[in-house]
């Protein structure tokens, strides 16, 4: 950052990310999946470059989860995409027929 330039506020941080992975899939039980598969963090999200994550689920079906991981650089998102696909081959992942994509922000605006 050049001297005298103001730092971006943390609330603007997501729009500065270069890459994201977005996954969605049904799970047998959201609370069990969260506690036993997501929270233990078998891929080491922070170590892999994840800057933040967001978990959502369908309003009418809490057992259909969507996970978004944000990265500062695209190669980290690409590496995580490969790691996720490898992880999902294990029955310990507790996730059924996942779909994952690498996405990038082209525009973000807060209202």
Mean pLDDT for the chain overall: 84
Question: What DSSP character marks residue 72?
Answer: S
User: What dihedral do alpha carbons 8, 12, 15, 19 form, nearest 10°?
Assistant: 80
Question: Domain ranges in the chain?
Answer: 29-103
- pLDDT (tens digit per residue) in 78-98: 999 999 999 888 877 778 889
Cα separation, 50 vs 81, in Å, equals: 12
Which one, of 100, 103, 79, lies nearest residue 17 by Cα? 103
- Tell me how far CA of residue 106 lies from CA of 9, 19, 20, 93, in angstroms: 19, 10, 12, 31
Average pLDDT for 25-39: 93
Chain segment 5-24, per-residue pLDDT in tens: 444 444 544 445 578 999 99
């Amino acid at each position: 950052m050049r001297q005298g330039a103001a730092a971006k506020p943390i609330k603007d941080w997501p729009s500065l990310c270069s890459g994201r992975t977005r996954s969605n899939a049904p799970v047998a039980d959201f609370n069990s999946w969260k506690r036993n598969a997501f929270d233990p963090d078998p891929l080491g999200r922070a170590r892999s470059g994840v800057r933040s994550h967001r978990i959502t689920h369908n309003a009418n079906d809490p057992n259909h989860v969507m996970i978004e991981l944000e990265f500062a650089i695209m190669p980290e998102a690409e590496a995580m995409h490969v790691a996720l696909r490898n992880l999902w081959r294990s029955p310990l992942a507790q996730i059924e027929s996942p779909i994952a994509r690498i996405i990038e922000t082209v525009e973000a605006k807060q209202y």
